[in-house]
Amino acid sequence: MGALLSIGIRAMFANQAALQAVGQNIANANTPGYSRQSVVLTTPDGQFTGAGFFGKGVNVQTVERSHNEFLTRQAGATKSIASMDSTRMSQLSQLEKLFPPGETGLGAAAGQFLSAMVDVTSRPADPSARQVVMGRATELASRFSSAGQQLADLQSGVVSDLKANIDVVNQLSKQIAFANDQIARTNGTGHEPNDLLDQRDQLVSKLSEYIQVTTLAANDGTLGVFIGGGQRLVLGAQAQQLAVTPDPYDDRRAALSMVNSNGNLTLDESVLTGGSLTALLQYQNKDLQDARNLLGQMASALTARVNDQQALGLDLSNPPGKGVPIFGIGAARALPANTNARNPDGSFTAGVKISINNASQLQASAYKLEPDPSGAAGAYQLTRLSDGSKRTVFDGDSVDGFKIDFTSAAPGIGDSFILEPVAQAAIDMKRVLDSTSGIAAASPMTATTNIDNKGSTTVNSLYAVNGKLDVNQAPMTITFGDPDPTDAAKVQYTLTLADGSVLNGTWSAGQRIGNEPNAVPPIDLGFELSLNGVPRKNDTILLEKTKFPATNNGNAKAFLNIQGEKFVGQRLLPDGSLAVGSTINEAYAATMSEIGSRVQGATYLSSVSVAVAADAESTRAGQAGVNIDEEASRLMQFQQGYQAAAKVLQAAQSMFDELMRLTQR
């Protein structure tokens, strides 16, 4: 009789426990990170009697949660990648807005400035035409400077976002460590604290959105959390703190460091493979830097080309002089690592200075300078960071349009520098010419045809093309002769300088005289004379110093040619030849294309990784989550079981009462 009562009681308790677990599941059906719980029921060993083994009912062994470690890790890893891709896509979308197409773009502004010289060629002395040029120059410089400043603002925003994310990461790390401590306290009871485990898993999942982690379970139930190729973030009840520290070379940029008792340990970006923190660092160190260098390359090349042409002409000052610069840009800079050797006063022992010597060959890149690994005396390794190419350089060498000079002392072992020839060019770009009379529209030399010429030749333009023009060689006379015996389309000519020296050449329609690198021997007098019509034998052209700059438009015409010149990003090849660069419009279009392709790629990756993360979470939730329909059926199952167990008790009670009545007779 007692055995039947015991079985009934055990059955009622087991079904009640199961009903309680079902109720808990239903209550938390929509709770993020909750894992379905179920009661584990076991049958105790039977009691031996002469008639055999009789059962003792049922035992409630424990309450377990539906959990799959593999699916949980996969869901966290995919969520980390999705967060990284989404963050980068969002940041790149902001960057793309700085390079608009059409009339609001930098390419259009450069074209409008150069096209404004058309009116100056028509009216060289007209103040209103010159004022239009000044206005266009101001607008062009402002657009470059504004784009550079917006890039700087985006950089500041990245640092702010990094700091905000780090605060969240540190808080989550502390919470995981606290959960570890609570879980460890239950170790040895033989039962798992399901709700605490769910809470910890949810914290790890949330942490994965900011930085990808790996986890390792310990024997005491705690979970170790590691980042960056094995760096400890949480171990047991102890949590390490992360911090945003200044970049070793540029304090306006940020680095991610782990706080240690013996100093901060900077985490290498290459070992961080997921989460929004990784995306922000990659965006800062790659995308923003590339955009800054591309913008600076265009600003540097255009400024140098315009200022060089301006210097080859004559302005309207009294007396007329060479043109002074129209634009100014930010200087090239060399950034020492904060770990470089220092003097007792705190200043750096070694110094590096870079100066631009050919802006057309500047590349959209920064460079890293450090002692050559071979240890050769005076040799240093220069790495172009845009493509990773390396070369050995020495003090005073020129590379990619800039020169390297050591100041105070040469860098020593362990020293390194980041060289930025163009990164600051755009943000500090401005118009530095204040007076309209300073526009050097006139050519230093004027060409006139002889009134006795028989042919139809007229002068189209004459302007200086480089610093080799020597007006002291004027007056010069060009005399045309017979057709070239080897090519009837060409006419022979003789160019006589003021000192009586003579140069011979051939001319054909469209050919420019004075700057003929393909002639034999080459002719380079520093100017280009363009003619219309066809000369006849003995026709002459006189070249002399410009006497009236106010009526000369030669140099203004030279400005018009700049728009079609490929002077941006030229590259000196190993064989000594020069690779053709891009026009300013082509360079801007290429920049827009580069940023646009990155945005497109990031958008695609984000859509894919978000979908993968959603599938992984759906798979995890499909096993660990709560199904209301299933729980409802289980509720009915255990409710009926409880009622049946009550019937067992009722039957046992009736039998016991009947037995008591029999014993009272």
How does pLDDT run across 484-539, given as a tens digit for each residue? 888 878 898 898 998 888 888 888 888 888 888 777 778 888 889 999 988 999 99
CA-based diameter of the chain, in Å? 161
524 domain-assigned: yes
Phi, psi at 3, each rounded to 5°: -65, -40
Residues of the chain above pLDDT 90, percent: 56
Helices (H) and strands (E) counted in the chain, each on its own, are: 11, 31
Average confidence score pLDDT of the chain: 90
Q: Tell me the pLDDT tens digit for each residue of 617-647.
A: 889 888 888 888 888 898 898 888 888 888 8
Domain boundary among 370, 404, 436: 436
Residue 298 pLDDT level (bands cut at 50, 70, 90) = very high
Phi, psi at 334, each rounded to 5°: -120, 125
Q: Tell me the pLDDT tens digit for each residue of 254-287.
A: 999 998 878 788 888 888 889 999 999 999 999 9
Residues of the chain above pLDDT 70, percent: 99
144 domain-assigned: no
What is the rounded CA–CA span in Å between residue 298 and residue 288? 16
Q: Is the confidence at residue 69, as pLDDT, over 70?
A: yes
Question: What stretches of 255-335 show up as alpha helix (H) in DSSP?
Answer: 276-282, 289-311
Same domain membership, residue 338 and residue 425: yes
269 domain-assigned: no
Query: What is the average per-residue pLDDT within 142-166?
Result: 95
| Residue positions counted in the chain | 665
Q: Is the confidence at residue 568, as pLDDT, over 90?
A: yes
Same domain membership, residue 499 and residue 419: no
Structure token pair of residue 111: 């074209």
36 domain-assigned: yes
The domain in which residue 366 lies consists of: 306-436
- Closest C-alpha among 455, 461, 609 to residue 543: 461
Residue 423 pLDDT level (bands cut at 50, 70, 90) = very high
Q: Is the confidence at residue 1, as pLDDT, over 60?
A: no
259 domain-assigned: no
Residue 440 pLDDT level (bands cut at 50, 70, 90) = very high
Taking CA atoms, 438 is separated from 2, 30, 292, 523, in Å, by 116, 74, 31, 31
Helix (H) or strand (E) holding 383: strand 380-384
Domain count, the chain: 3
Q: Is the confidence at residue 207, as pLDDT, over 90?
A: yes
What is the rounded CA–CA span in Å between residue 448 and residue 546? 11
The answer for residues whose C-beta is within 8 angstroms of residue 150's C-beta and 6 or more apart is 98
How many CB atoms lie under 10 A from the CB of residue 409? 13
Same domain membership, residue 432 and residue 339: yes
Residue that the structure tokens 């919470």 belong to: 175
User: Hey, is 496 helix, strand or coil?
Assistant: strand
What are residue 215's DSSP bridge partners?
225
Same domain membership, residue 482 and residue 408: no
Cis check: omega of the bond before 319, within 30 degrees of 0? yes
Taking CA atoms, 245 is separated from 255, 272, 323, 457, in Å, by 5, 16, 47, 70
Query: What is the average per-residue pLDDT within 82-93?
Result: 95
Q: Is the confidence at residue 30, as pLDDT, over 80?
A: yes
Structure token pair of residue 624: 């660990």
Taking CA atoms, 298 is separated from 201, 547, 573, in Å, by 50, 36, 21
- Closest C-alpha among 460, 649, 611, 662 to residue 85: 611
Taking CA atoms, 63 is separated from 30, 163, 164, in Å, by 20, 41, 39
463 touches 553 (CB < 8 A): no
Q: Is the confidence at residue 405, as pLDDT, over 90?
A: yes
315 domain-assigned: yes
564 domain-assigned: no
Same domain membership, residue 430 and residue 311: yes
Same domain membership, residue 452 and residue 416: no
Question: What stretches of 189-315 show up as alpha helix (H) in DSSP?
Answer: 194-208, 276-282, 289-311
The answer for residues whose C-beta is within 8 angstroms of residue 608's C-beta and 6 or more apart is 85
Same domain membership, residue 531 and residue 482: yes
- Position with higher pLDDT, 521 vs 205: 205
What is the rounded CA–CA span in Å between residue 533 and residue 472? 29
The answer for residues whose C-beta is within 8 angstroms of residue 195's C-beta and 6 or more apart is none
Domain boundary among 506, 527, 545: 545
Domain boundary among 521, 545, 569: 545
Query: What is the average per-residue pLDDT within 343-355?
Result: 92
Phi, psi at 133, each rounded to 5°: -60, -45
Same domain membership, residue 431 and residue 476: no
Same domain membership, residue 383 and residue 316: yes
Same domain membership, residue 428 and residue 526: no
120 touches 553 (CB < 8 A): yes
Same domain membership, residue 469 and residue 406: no
How many CB atoms lie under 10 A from the CB of residue 467? 10
24 domain-assigned: yes
Same domain membership, residue 528 and residue 483: yes
The answer for residues whose C-beta is within 8 angstroms of residue 552's C-beta and 6 or more apart is 124, 314, 441, 442, 443, 446, 546
- Position with higher pLDDT, 276 vs 665: 276
535: domain CATH number is 2.60.40
Residue 2 pLDDT level (bands cut at 50, 70, 90) = low
